[in-house]
Amino acid sequence: MKTWKIWAITVPIILLMLCCAVIAWLWQNVSTNWAPEEQAAQYVLDHTPIDHIDSYQVFTASGLEDVFLGTDTFGHKWYAFYIPAKHTAYSVGVDELVSAKKVEQSLLQDNIHTDTYSIGYVTGEASKALSAESSTNVVYEVRGRENGKTIFVYVDATSGHILWRYQLSA
């Protein structure tokens, strides 16, 4: 067999094997990065009214938790809060909560300009500070500016009342 035939067969086989190895390595390393989120999403789908997940975010004010916004079979919107440490999910209908827009308008009256906000479920000691009329432990964590300084405000998502506020020192 001529040398060029050996090279013509061997080189493509080696390149194909190399490509397969790279793809297998990428598959293993990339797919495992989302495993906890996939497990959380599946748990939420199995244990809450949510049938379709629309969005996902992480809330860290009261420990790590996964927050899902989704709809049920009838099209009603729900928030589901999955707490990995307890392997538990809590769900609250969106219509039971004060809208983020109303919270932002309320804070603007107190001269707090909202930069970002997230919604989450408060557990442990922090949940004891929630108002008596709150039927849920859901809060908005708002990062904003007050008089040019960064401030964090926690708002009861059921009543709209400010629970805590922290100002970062300059």
User: Dihedrals φ, ψ of 164, to 5°?
Assistant: -140, 155
pLDDT at 15: 92
Say what the pLDDT of residue 102 is: 95
Q: Which pTM value belongs to this model?
A: 0.76
pLDDT in tens, 36-78: 888 999 999 999 999 999 999 999 887 889 999 999 999 999 9
Q: Which CATH class is domain 98-167?
A: alpha beta
**pLDDT score at 93:** 95
Residue partners of 89: CB distance under 8 A and separation at least 6:
43, 44, 47, 48, 80, 81, 82, 83
For the stretch 133-164, pLDDT in tens is 566 789 999 999 998 899 999 998 998 888 88
- Examine the pLDDT at 34 and tell me if it is beyond 80: no
Q: CB-based contacts of 108: which residues, under 8 Å, 6+ apart? A: 114
Residue 31: predicted pLDDT: 67
Whose tokens are 């989450």? That residue is 120
Identify the pLDDT of residue 126.
63
Q: What is the DSSP letter of 113?
A: E
Strand order in the sheet with 149-156: 113-121, 138-146, 149-156, 162-167
Which fold would CATH assign to domain 36-95?
Nuclear Transport Factor 2; Chain: A, (3.10.450)
Q: What is the domain partition of the chain in residue ranges?
A: 3-32, 36-95, 98-167
Asked whether the beta carbons of 83 and 102 are under 8 A apart, the reply is no
Strands 88-93 and 77-83 come out as antiparallel
Taking only the tens place, the pLDDT of each residue in 77-126 is: 999 999 998 999 999 999 999 999 999 999 999 889 999 999 999 886 66
Residue 2 or 134, more confident: 2
Same fold flag, 36-95 and 98-167? yes
Q: What is the pLDDT of residue 43?
A: 96
**Res 127: pLDDT:** 63
Cα 81 to the center of its chain, rounded Å? 9
Give the model's pLDDT for residue 170: 60
